Chain A
Amino acid sequence: MKGLLLKEWYLLTRNFKSMFIVIFIFAAFGFFYDMAVITIVPVLIASVPVSTTALDERSGWSCYADALPVTRKNIVDSKYISGLVCIFCTALLFACVNAVRNGISASLELFIFQISGAAIYLSLMMPVVLHFGTEKARYINMAVIAAFAMLVTALMLAISDTSGDIPFRFTAPALLAALIMLILSEFISVLIYMRKEF
């Protein structure tokens, strides 16, 4: 597992430099201006495991990894773990930026909400990508991101209080929903991956 996570790290740092630069630009903008779009950035980052799976497919690694002393569950889990780490780090960065502007309490709620949203997106996409392959799943991915952006914006507008902050009572259910979906998603993804032939 350690080797697989290291491989994910190399893929991330070598192939997604521009994405990290964009995150920092967004974070810098978020420091000076209130930008609603920032809420959705961790969701975009959650698509990184989808992209690394595409790289694995293109390089033939998905096939070769099956000959290595790792289980298929390890391979699937490495994608989830790397995705969650990316989500956590990005959400934390934005939470820190937000904390400077709006205080710690509001940032914590946004942080949990962002993590939950991004984790739900990851939970939805990973089984789809592993089942259909990244090529076929591309259009589903775009549709899910668009639907997600609309849903999150609508939800934020619906539940935000007059100050624009997310009331704390919504963060716990969001986190719980994300957790349940992650566990279910990982279970389904492992089942899908176990049945695959290369």
Chain B
Amino acid sequence: MYAVKTDKLCKRRGEFLLDGISLELPKGYILGLVGENGAGKSTFISLLLGMLRPDAGSISILGSSDNSVALKNDIGVVLSEPFMPQCMNASMIDKMYTGIYKNWQSDTFFRYIKQFNVPDNKVFSALSRGNKMKLAIASALSHDAKLLILDEATSGLDPIVRDDILDVLYDFTSDDEHSILISSHITGDLERLCDYIAFIHKGRIILSGEKDEICESYVKLSCSNAELKSLDKDALIGVRRGEYSDEVIAKRNALCGLTGAPVSLEELFLYMVKYGEEEK
């Protein structure tokens, strides 16, 4: 059973085209979306939440494709900009959500507000971006959601709070029924948190799969021009040209006797998108 399943999802917005996104997030797992600004992460998330209508393809969330009120009760959402009426404080937000979410839990909400050190007497407009984000995350975690959809939820937070929030998110998926789809620029967070990763670039998925499998499948190595030529071209992900040697990320199974170092998600994405394209 999938928490999120999309099939050949397409959406054109002006010049931009989200092109045939097929992704699967099994229940109980965390999927991280990695992509540069304007890659299509937010458009994809807007399609999932019904804010945009797809031009083609299908979406299934928690086994349902109808975007109903009942389904949205099971989804916790944090968008890239924390959107909330500017004049409301935490107590007002709590009362408002009590009338919106079927399973709203005020005690959980205020527990998170306290844990994240969000001032509960200040109105939303007076909070810092980090505190606004924390308040939005607390809201998403306080109505017994089965799926969290987080768009750049950890951006704007200091490392300590980010660490706290990652712990909370990790705990959230200790229940097999709970899943998270998270997009972020901070690949370190995704590397720590996610079970599955998808790279999105110019509206297309360029790589997706289990995080550990992806990280094990690629290596980074420094090699001379001659060594570079000996590598299978199809196995090269990207080459960063240097004066004396080149830095390469390649598929592990195509090393031809060369040895490589483990690769991080950030390096892999950078080499795929930047140095891979330069090479082409």
Q: Compute how far the CA of A3 lies from the CA of B69 in the bound complex, rounded to whole angstroms.
A: 14
B131-154 contacts to A, CB under 8 A, are 149
Asked if B253 is at the interface (CB within 8 A of a chain A CB), the reply is no
**A10/B79 contact (C-beta < 8 A), A63-B51, A68-B72, A69-B69 known:** no
A2 contacts which of B50, B52, B99, B149 (Cβ < 8 Å)? B99
State whether the Cβ of A7 lies closer than 8 Å to any Cβ in chain B.
Answer: yes
Query: Is the CB of B96 closer than 8 A to any CB of chain A?
Result: yes
Query: Which residues of chain A come closer than 8 Å to B50, judged between CB atoms?
Result: 66-67
- Shortest distance between the CB of B135 and any CB in chain A (Å): 13
Task: Let me know if A55 is at the binding interface, CB within 8 A.
Answer: yes
Interface of A is mostly: helix
**A14 is an interface residue with CB less than 8 A from chain B:** yes
Interfacial residues of chain A within 9-36, with CB under 8 A of chain B in the complex: 10-11, 14-15
Q: How large is the interface on B (under 10, 10 to 19, 20 to 34, 35 or more residues)?
A: 20 to 34
Residues in B with CB closer than 8 Å to A69 are 69-70, 72-73, 100-102
Q: Mark A27-70, 1 if CB is under 8 A from B, else 0.
A: 00000000000000000000000000001101111011011111
Residue total for A at the interface (Cβ-Cβ under 8 A): 27
- Any A CB within 8 A of the CB of B37: no
CB pair A59 B100 closer than 8 Å: no
A71 located at the interface, meaning its Cβ lies under 8 Å from any Cβ of chain B in the complex: yes
Q: A3 touching B79 by the CB < 8 A rule? A: no
A6 within 8 A of B: yes
Given A59-B83, A61-B85, A198-B51 contact (CB < 8 Å): yes
Check A124 for interface membership: any CB of B closer than 8 A.
Answer: no
Asked if B81 is an interface residue, CB under 8 A from chain A, the answer is yes
User: CA of A58 to CA of B69 in the docked complex: distance in angstroms?
Assistant: 25
> CA A157 – CA B3 in complex, angstroms?
65
Residue pair B101, A67 in contact (C-beta under 8 Å): no
Q: Does A135 sit within 8 A of B, measured CB to CB? A: no
Give me the interface of A with B, judged by CB distance under 8 Å.
1-7, 10-11, 14-15, 55-56, 58-61, 63-64, 66-71, 197-198
